[in-house]
Structure 1
Amino acid sequence: MTRLIGRAFGSLTVRNFRLFATGQIVSAAGTWMMVVAQDWLVLDLTGNSGPALGAVTALQFTPVLLLTLHGGRLADRHDKRLLLTVANLAAGALALVLSLLVLAHDVRLWHVYGLALGLGVVNAVEVPTRLSFVSEMVGAELLPNASALSAAYFSTARVVGPALAGLLLTALGTGWVMLVNALSYLVTVTTLRLIRPAELRRGPRTDAHPRVRDGLRYVSGRRDLLLALALVAAVGLFGMNFQLTLPLLAKTVFHADAASFGLLSSAFAAGSLVAALATTGRRRRPSGHLVAGSALAFGVLEGLTGWAPSFAVAAVLLFLVGFTAIHFAQAANHRVQLGSDPRYRGRVMALYTLILQGSTPLGALGVGWLAQHWGARSGLVLGGLGSAAAAVCALGYERRDRAGREPGRDGPSGGRQEAGDPGAPDDVRALR
């Protein structure tokens, strides 16, 4: 048992990662409180408008489409700890401004739009930097474990945050929830500054001026990375719109209050947490079949959630949807990150972030339109069907690709790098 626990939490033996994880738990809990409060505020300001909620989501993620690749270039060029510090200070300032407007009863819908756009710009730099910074703290061997634990604390925050937000919304109101989120960023910044730079595992920078197009050229020559990223794009576009679908499902289908909406979000997050903990023992790069299979399970369960006959059934299904969503995201993340040369990792993870989060604006606008005309259930049903169809296509391609490869001839162009392949970076070889 002790050995299993040590294997599951191995990356927490690294002091820098422990500090990082502490700050991220607090900040992520505040962020999910903010998500619930912001969605509830928009619905109150607009009379339960699906398109307005979709517009907020689109504005928050549109900068990802435009700026994330440049954010990855910055991560490969500059000190990641400094970039994360600045990004968290900026996000905290934006959250503080909106909370004060709400508390002063001067908030307007365009204020929410402005905050969403500003946070999108910050996230375009913060997300790829954070994803690639993990490897600098723990090294290649512990990277899958640290990535899974990162998903675990994020999911923990997603359980605690919405539940607390539902209670605080009922007791105190939207503005105070947003203020708590603004203050949570101070904890994140403090822990980042306590990290010891001398203990980071920074690889040599062979290129003083990394370019975005070099990262894109690297990915274009790797069919295994391209297939994983294409599946991430499809699932992100069709299925990952819960910031929009969950509040609409709670308020317009089950006529739930803020506290009950928080419970639905927490059920989804609890499933995510279980999936994250289940992947902490991973030490090898997952196969393409595992990535596509988890996407298929996610799509089927999301579609079933759209047909849930009651609040209780929806909560149970959302637990399973949360599990499969994080299992897929972790499998795709590990397949992409563990298959990437460290020199390009910031830009590769920026592309991963761009595809996963950048597809959200288009999906959010489409789901918002569907909810307005066909009801809140339609977004979940059609989103699940689209994700499942993409997964079936990916599974078919994987089988054809594997059948067409000669034994012993797998390489970067064949979709996989084997141990001893001169194209595989040393830290990836050690994990195969």
Structure 2
Amino acid sequence: MSVAAWYKGAPPMLPDATGEAMPRAGARRWLIAGFPALRHRNFRLFIAGQGVSLIGTWMQSVAQSWLVYRVSGSRFALGVVAFAGYLPILCLAPAAGVVADRVERHRLIVVTQALAMLLALALGTLVATRLVTVAAVVVIAGCLGAVSAFDIPLRQAFIVEMVGPEDLPNAIALNSSIFNAARVVGPALAGSLVAAVGEAACFFLNAASYLAVLAALLSMRLNRVRRSAETPSPVLAGFLSGLDYVRHEPPLRNLLILLGIVSGLGLQYSILIPVFAKEIFHAGATGYGLLVTAAGIGSVVSALHLAARRYSRTQHRRNLLAGLGMFSVGVLGLTATRRLGFALWFQALAGYGAIRYLATTNTLLQLLVDERYRGRVMGLHTVMFLGTASAGSLVLGAVAQRFGAPAAAAIAGAVSLACGSWLATRLRRLAMRERQAAA
């Protein structure tokens, strides 16, 4: 089905859900009414495993940034490590999207999660034995980026196989809720552990957390999903056909381009949070954990707000604009304040706005895309969401090294605000055309 057809009100053609449904009776009824995706057994397993694993992931993210800054004392080194993690995503995610349209996604997700576990274990071992260097962190970050290039589009495309079309928006919002709930818990634990016993504990706990998601994946009961019976074309040809599909669907194209700009420069202000914590607010590792946790709290509230109701086409557009505006104000506010208390509030606002924008973008892409191109479009989504961050992290790291972290973060906020202004203009013109067509 074309994107234009969806905008005219036709339902998207998506596969049915697999796995047993949760009974709509008893004490669970109220939960299902608010979060209908939870009636699917496979999705419940997925969310439970992800909830544990993502806490470990956020712990590793916080500990890794603090480790690099402690060892090197360089703002630019933070950008280099981020670049190393994001570059493989930029290079490999397009091919990964093609693979996601051709293979059994569930099995390959098990492989990617197991590889991520081994990388976390390796980093923890290097830190514990005092053999870690910034170069070693760069290598491990690059390897994890290569794994993530396949893992992320696979997991995004796998959601619809667990819940079906009707509950897809709710499932995306719930997945975002779990991700950001972990963003609250993980950094707080990491800040305390780093201050008490060092970074290695965070990496070992992250490795152990992958056992939960692996157990959940292996416990699922899945029906076999039929892929196209056509002879697969070469990966490059498959990617180019997906790119051509997006190019001829303006809503998909515009959503992805805007996401690339915001993610590439706007969201990358977060690599500078260790600098804000240590040099601007003089709060150390504990302050760093608090700043990341504050953004996580805002993100959780935003994700739960999105998950609690269904939205019309017009409301989805408003969510995009409102989210981008709130994120921009939060980042610019962080650059302006020198008090940690105010900074925590601005971080919460930035987190709320970022998830309102990002989750709505993901939802619209998944609802608009033709099922034949789902993996490829989610691969492009991964490139725009994470791959563009490779360049953005280097740019902001270099600016911070030369002019300071507040100046670099101000650029991130200003770029996001400019994107919001462009989006407001586009949506206003679109609304005018729709009113004229209806007249």
Q: Deviations over 1:169-209 (max 9, x none)?
A: 122211111111111112211111111122x7x36535452
How much does 1:10 deviate? 1.3
Paired position in structure 2 for 1:263 = 290
Contact 2:59 2:187 in 1 (8 A): yes
Task: For structure 1, list consecutive stretches of 5 or more residues without a partner in the other structure.
Answer: 410-432
Residue 205 (str. 1) matches residue 228 (str. 2):
yes
How much does 1:363 deviate? 1.1
* Percent identity of equivalent pairs: 36
Q: TM-score, normalised by structure 1?
A: 0.90
Counterpart of 2:336 in 1: which secondary structure?
coil
How much does 1:23 deviate? 1.0
Contact 1:57 1:243 in 2 (8 A): no
Q: Give the counterpart letter for 1:96 in structure 2.
A: L
Contact 2:177 2:299 in 1 (8 A): yes
Distance 1:245 1:133, change over 3 A: same
Q: Give the counterpart letter for 2:51 in structure 1.
A: I
Q: Deviations over 1:204-255 (max 9, x none)?
A: 5354526111111111111111111121112112211144121111112112
Q: Deviations over 1:68-126 (max 9, x none)?
A: 01111111100111111000111111111111111011111111000100010001000
Contact 2:32 2:38 in 1 (8 A): no
Range with greater deviation from structure 2 (232-241 or 77-86)? 232-241
Distance 1:407 1:69, change over 3 A: same
Distance (Å, rounded) in 2 between the aligned partners of 1:385 and 1:292: 15
Q: Give the counterpart letter for 2:78 in structure 1.
A: L
Distance (Å, rounded) in 2 between the aligned partners of 1:166 and 1:301: 22
Paired position in structure 1 for 2:170 = 145
Q: Give the counterpart letter for 2:419 in structure 1.
A: A
Task: For structure 2, list consecutive stretches of 5 or more residues without a partner in the other structure.
Answer: 1-26
Distance (Å, rounded) in 1 between the aligned partners of 2:221 and 2:330: 43
Q: Give the counterpart letter for 2:228 in structure 1.
A: R
Distance (Å, rounded) in 1 between the aligned partners of 2:356 and 2:255: 14
Distance (Å, rounded) in 2 between the aligned partners of 1:244 and 1:143: 31
For 1:47-126, list aligned pairs within 5 A.
Answer: 47=73, 49-126=74-151
Q: Give the counterpart letter for 2:310 in structure 1.
A: R
Contact 2:177 2:303 in 1 (8 A): yes
Residue 282 (str. 1) matches residue 305 (str. 2):
no
Paired position in structure 2 for 1:426 = none
For 1:351-390, list aligned pairs within 5 A.
Answer: 351-390=380-419
Paired position in structure 2 for 1:184 = 209
Q: Deviations over 1:358-397 (max 9, x none)?
A: 1111111111112112111112211111111012112212
Contact 1:300 1:385 in 2 (8 A): no
Distance 1:276 1:215, change over 3 A: same
Contact 1:231 1:292 in 2 (8 A): no
Q: Give the counterpart letter for 1:220 in structure 2.
A: R
Contact 2:334 2:343 in 1 (8 A): yes
Residue 218 (str. 1) matches residue 241 (str. 2):
no
Residue 392 (str. 1) matches residue 421 (str. 2):
yes
Residue 326 (str. 1) matches residue 355 (str. 2):
yes
Distance (Å, rounded) in 1 between the aligned partners of 2:288 and 2:422: 34
Range with greater deviation from structure 2 (209-218 or 311-320)? 209-218
Residue 30 (str. 1) matches residue 56 (str. 2):
yes
How much does 1:407 deviate? 5.3
Distance (Å, rounded) in 1 between the aligned partners of 2:200 and 2:338: 34
Counterpart of 1:107 in 2: which secondary structure?
coil
Distance (Å, rounded) in 2 between the aligned partners of 1:366 and 1:265: 21
How much does 1:284 deviate? 4.6
Distance (Å, rounded) in 2 between the aligned partners of 1:2 and 1:168: 36
Q: TM-score, normalised by structure 2?
A: 0.88
Paired position in structure 2 for 1:423 = none
Q: Give the counterpart letter for 1:88 in structure 2.
A: Q
How much does 1:155 deviate? 0.4
How much does 1:6 deviate? 2.7
Range with greater deviation from structure 2 (266-275 or 369-378)? 369-378
Contact 1:25 1:153 in 2 (8 A): yes
Distance (Å, rounded) in 2 between the aligned partners of 1:203 and 1:270: 40
Residue 295 (str. 1) matches residue 324 (str. 2):
yes
Question: How many residue pairs get matched?
Answer: 406
Distance (Å, rounded) in 2 between the aligned partners of 1:169 and 1:309: 24
Residue 230 (str. 1) matches residue 253 (str. 2):
no
Paired position in structure 2 for 1:167 = 192
How much does 1:408 deviate? 5.3
Q: Give the counterpart letter for 1:282 in structure 2.
A: R
Distance 1:283 1:297, change over 3 A: closer
